Amino acid sequence: MTNAMTEPSKAPVHRFTETRLAVEDFIADEAAHLDAWDLNGWVTLFTTDCVYEVTPTGVANPFALDPDTTMFLIADDRERLEQRVIRLNKTSAHVEYPKSLTRHLYTNVRILSDNGTEVVATANCLVFRTKNRTTSHYPGTIRYVLVRDGDSFLIRSKRVALDLEALIPQGKVSIIL
Amino acid sequence: MKWSEPYESKYLRVDPQKRRFQISRKVYTDPQLFELEKKHLLRKSWLYFAHVSEVPKLNDFITRQVIDVTLILTRDRAGEIRAFFNTCPHRGAVICREPVGSRKSFTCPYHGWTFKNSGELQTQNAAFGYEEDFNADGNYNLHEVPRLEIRSGFIFVNFDAGAMPLSDYLGAAGDRIDMLAQHSGTGLEVIGGMQEYYIKANYKLMCENSYDGYHLEATHGSYIDYQMSRLAGVTQMKATGFGRGLDNGHACFEIDIMAGRPLAQWLPVWGETVRELIDEAKAELIERVGPERGHLISQVHRNMVIFPNSVMNDQQSIFIRSMIPISVNEMVVRAWPLGPVNEAPELRRIRIEGALSFLGPGGFATPDDVEMLELCQRGYEMGGIEWNDVSKGFSPGEETPSGEDKLMNELQMRAYWTQYDKIMSAIA
């Protein structure tokens, strides 16, 4: 699987060090919300015009795909993202009742651009989900578009591309990645 | 089959007077039975494999597993659609390792035997050691799947050379497949983003789930809440529906309901531009097929299982599923959304949204189904309890597999299991 987002950068290595540190702090906090199942807190990290996407498995170019012409696993706008949170907070979201244990590892953060107001960053991710005495792994890459918000950020876009040919054996994406 | 007298086999226990229809849990758990089922049922049934739009041009191919066989599906250089076992007739290596592509020939990576995409052996990549007439009888061509037939663009395969023709097999389900194709005057195409996901449960559980109206409220309460939030402004909420046995174990439920659809059911949340496009699509459909059939195609939502492992859903979107059994308690589900060729971008967007929010493994409903099937499988594997029940709506004299019943009853499953029992109980 090759794509521009994960190729080695030609930019000077230390050009965005300060931005990178700030982004690392921010997404570590995001991961903490998710691992605590604090989805109401998590959704406040997004802009009102946000998108949260998980691309289909088994595709060669996940960062070039358009959710209007290809079926993603998840392609939420703000409204559907809020609905996803409402659903997951219910005990009738059976797949997440009782809640699974999750551990989100977001690493290898790279800053692709920073124009002062908007930062484009990528991170590797590995998310563990444990339920019914089984642990599944979700390895992948995330591309963030972050807008500065005071001394922190808001997420305008988060696209997750899984390093999977199929959801075997994961079976579903019922947690937030 | 008319159920009047008590009946008991290894698989079914039916008592019409007590209105009981029970299924042995062994059909989901017994590994030896699973092997028999593969040999006598799965390998002798017509299995949905692919849609013609997946090999649109000459020399296009896909590779895909069906039961435990991987096939190469090609549109060969003459335009013929064929399917070959993806194993070299020489020493057996898997030949084609790509899931999709375009090739005039396939070369085995092990010794270099090369085959035309119509199956003929072209070269053994050897200067000596073979007589010139070595392959005169075609023994070393790629092995073709014994039967391949196409219904309205949907490609089915069968590993039994003596199987009945596909149209006989499909029976009353065939016309409903034709209706899928008639959604569009320009033909259908598979939309990118095939879904493939694992479930730790017997494959037949996903078939039962796919046309089970009864589970919707309990399993999918959270999805129904979401859907209600999107139906704001819709006044025509009443729904009428039926479960129907078709033929040869196929069955469906059909429901006349306003749920939003890019063909002829506009929702206010979609806006006025989309309303015009949906009205146009509906007018074109009525013009093409007439008002009566147009109503059946555009207003009736339908979940249909083609016995034994294919699902054709015709709801907010057209959605096809194929359940691939991996072992007695594991399956892989493969699912494809379809839409009209050259569909307006606004309608395509709605179609995709409907499919992924409801039927996808990242959506608001299917993950809960997956959970339920795995809970069922765990329940069966506890052992000690022999029978499941699908009696809802059953009464003496019921005719399955071709009857009709209320939407929320379990006639569909009785049609499936009656056919299953007919085939499996006939094994000597």
Which pLDDT tens digit goes with each residue over A19-63? 999 999 999 999 999 999 999 999 999 999 999 999 999 998 999
A56 interface with B at CB cutoff 8 Å: yes
> Of the candidates A75, A94, A167, which has its C-beta nearest B356's C-beta?
A75
Q: For A125-139, B187-201, B261-275, which range has the lowest pLDDT when averaged over its residues?
A: B261-275
What's residue B357's pLDDT? Answer: 86
Q: Which of B356, B366, B377 to mutate to test the interface with A (most CBs of A within 10 A)?
A: B356
Which residues in chain A have Cβ-Cβ distances shorter than 8 Å to B362?
Answer: 54, 72-74, 172-174
Domain count, chain A: 1
Outline which parts of chain B fall under CATH 3.90.380.10. Answer: 171-424
**Domain, as residue range, for A125:** 15-162
CA distance A80 to chain B (A): 9
Say how many CB pairs under 8 Å bridge A and B: 115
How far apart CA B417 and CA B405 sit, in angstroms, is 16
* Candidates B352, B360, B361; nearest CB to A171: B361
Q: In A, which residues are within 8 Å of B378 by CB distance?
A: 132
CATH 2.102.10.10 fits B47-151, yes or no: yes
> Inter-chain contact A80–B371, Cβ cutoff 8 Å?
no
* Predicted pLDDT at B261: 86
- Of B191, B197, B370, nearest to A71 by CB-CB distance is B191
The one-letter code for the residue type at B379 is: G
Q: Is residue A171 part of a domain?
A: no
d(CA A71, CA B349): 9
As a three-state string, the secondary structure of A55-116 is CCCCCCCHHHCCCCCCCCCEEEEHHHHHHHHHHHCCCCCHHHCCCCEEEEEEEEEEEEEECC
User: What is the rounded CA–CA span in Å between residue B88 and residue B201?
Assistant: 32
A90 touching B, CB under 8 A? yes
Q: Is A64 touching B (CB cutoff 8 A)?
A: no
**Chain A: closest CA distance from residue B414 (Å):** 27
In chain B, ranges of CATH 2.102.10.10 domains: 47-151
Q: Is B178 left (phi over 0), alpha (psi -120 to 50) or beta?
A: alpha
B356·A71 Cβ contact <8 A: yes
Closest CA to A142 of A70, A69, A74: A74
Residues B28 and B329 sit within 8 Å (Cβ to Cβ):
yes
Contact A89, B364 (CB under 8 A): no
Percent of chain B, pLDDT > 70?
99
Rounded CA gap, B322 and B318, in Å?
A: 14
**Nearest 10 degrees: CA dihedral of B145, B149, B153, B154?**
-70
Q: Spell out the residues 6+ positions from residue B126 whose beta carbon is closer than 8 angstroms to its own.
A: B111
Q: Name the band, by pLDDT with cuts 50, 70 and 90, for residue A1.
A: very low
What CATH number is associated with residue A151?
3.10.450.50
Write the DSSP string, B252-317.
EEEEE----BTTTB--GGG-HHHHHHHHHHHHHHHHHH-HHHHHHHHTEEEEEEETTTEEEEESSS
Closest Cβ–Cβ partner in A69, A94, A173 for B362? A173
Question: Per the CB < 8 Å rule, is B199 touching A171?
Answer: yes
* In the predicted structure, residue B385 carries a pLDDT above the cut 80: yes
pLDDT, mean of residues B120-141: 95
Q: Does A77 touch chain B (CB under 8 A)?
A: no
* Nearest-CA distance A14 → chain B (Å): 37
**Residue A156 φ then ψ, to 5°:** -90, -35
Min mean pLDDT across B48-57, B147-156, B236-245, B349-358 is at B236-245
In this prediction the ipTM stands at: 0.94
What percent of chain B shows pLDDT beyond 90?
82
pLDDT above 60 for B174: yes
Position A134 in a domain: yes
What pLDDT digit, counting tens, does each position of B51-85 carry? 999 999 999 999 999 999 999 999 999 999 999 99
The CATH fold assigned to B171-424 is Naphthalene 1,2-dioxygenase Alpha Subunit; Chain A, domain 1 (3.90.380)
Q: Is residue A151 part of a domain?
A: yes
> Using CA atoms, how far apart are residues B56 and B138, in angstroms rounded to an integer?
28
Report residue B333 as tokens.
Answer: 């589900």
**pLDDT: which is higher, B298 or A123:** A123
